[in-house]
Amino acid sequence: KLIEKINSGKSTDDDKLKEIELGKKIRDLRDKIDENDDHIKNKIARVINAKIDFQKAINLVNELKKDIAEYKKNIAKRYNS
């Protein structure tokens, strides 16, 4: 109704102040939404990085297991020969 009043040219100074306040509140809400979006994006990025780091750790453990198995084979060969 406020916008209709302003568009019709029948608005008062009080109506115009209300419109300005409303515009400010809308901008503030948009800013908060943008901040929350950035916060969520940062959290997602941290989770992805943690998952990548975890996968690297798993790969290292698997490589170590292979190295240990190879080491055991070499020791067994030495003692059997």
Q: Which of these, 29, 12, 30, lies nearest to 2 by C-alpha position? A: 12
Q: Is the pTM of this model over 0.85?
A: no
Contact criterion met (CB below 8 Å) for 2 and 15? yes
25-59 pLDDT, tens digit each: 999 999 999 999 999 999 999 999 999 999 999 99
Distance between CA atoms of residues 52 and 34, nearest Å: 27
Domain that holds residue 50: 2-80
Better-scored residue on pLDDT, 79 or 54:
54
Reported as a pLDDT band with limits 50, 70 and 90, residue 18 is: confident
